[in-house]
Amino acid sequence: MTQAAGSSGERPRYRAGGGRRPVVALAGALVAVFIVNSLVGLFAIDYARKADEAGHATQSSLIEALDTAREAQVAFKIQVQEWKNLLLRGSDPEENRRYLDRFAGQERRVGEALARLQAIAPALGLDHGAVEAVIRDHAALGERYRQALTRFDPTAPGGDAAAADRAVRGIDRPLDSAIDAIAESTRAHAKARQGDLAAAAAERYTGTRVVAIASALLGLLLIAVALGRAVGRRG
């Protein structure tokens, strides 16, 4: 009877290592949470980096397009002024060559600026056709200017600057307006795209913050579950 009573009062024995399992489970949950949060953080950082790089590249292209359009706009106005200088001050052969070179230099500068704008227009969604039309009109205008110059030869008798001026009077105005329109449309387009980029950046920030908060909450939930199981097993 005494032996039976003593045996009935003994504490239940735990299996070897039974008390370590909750600790191992909790440690595993913590490691899992750390890994998941680290992966989410790395993905968010990489995504934000790539998006920011693409945004900066677009911003740079927009600024380049705007600067190029303005360069063409200003250079063409100077080209027209150099034409007038050529007719007004080019009666001397040496001065004629100097002003003709300046006119040709500005003409070349306009053409190069328009060519650069034509190259980057499609990627930015600019009116590619309008730029092409201006390039064609500018080339045709150059031909007409040179035809008019045949009426004004300071080395030949009868060279008439007034006749050369009348031959091309007013022909620069349509092209001047077209280049102004391209510069203005490029400015408006750049402003709109910059607004879109800023909105996209704000949206990315909000999305990344939501993912980070959700990941943190999920981690806390996993830890709470692991703690609950550990306490339950000890009880």
The Cβ-side half-sphere exposure at 75, using a 13 Å CA radius, reads 21
What's the confidence (pLDDT) of residue 87?
Answer: 87
What's the confidence (pLDDT) of residue 5?
Answer: 47
For the residues of 121-159, what is the DSSP string, one character each? Answer: HHHHT--HHHHHHHHHHHHHHHHHHHHHHTT--TTSTT-
What's the confidence (pLDDT) of residue 6?
Answer: 47
For the residues of the chain, what is the DSSP string, one character each? Answer: -HHHHHHHTSPPPPPTTTTTHHHHHHHHHHHHHHHHHHHHHHHHHHHHHHHHHHHHHHHHHHHHHHHHHHHHHHHHHHHHHHHHHHHHHTTSHHHHHHHHHHHHHHHHHHHHHHHHHHHHHHHHT--HHHHHHHHHHHHHHHHHHHHHHTT--TTSTT--HHHHHHHHTTTHHHHHHHHHHHHHHHHHHHHHHHHHHHHHHHHHHHHHHHHHHHHHHHHHHHHHHHHHHHHHHH-
- Which residue in the block uniquely carries the two structure tokens 């329109």? 181
Residue 61, token pair as written in the block: 């292209």
pLDDT in tens, the chain (235 residues): 444 444 455 555 545 455 566 667 667 767 777 777 777 777 777 777 787 777 788 888 888 999 999 999 999 999 999 999 988 888 788 888 899 999 999 999 999 999 999 999 888 888 889 999 999 999 999 999 999 888 887 666 556 778 888 888 899 999 999 999 999 988 888 888 888 888 888 887 887 778 778 777 777 777 777 677 666 665 5
What's the confidence (pLDDT) of residue 1?
Answer: 44
Fold type of domain 59-200: Four Helix Bundle (Hemerythrin (Met), subunit A) (1.20.120)
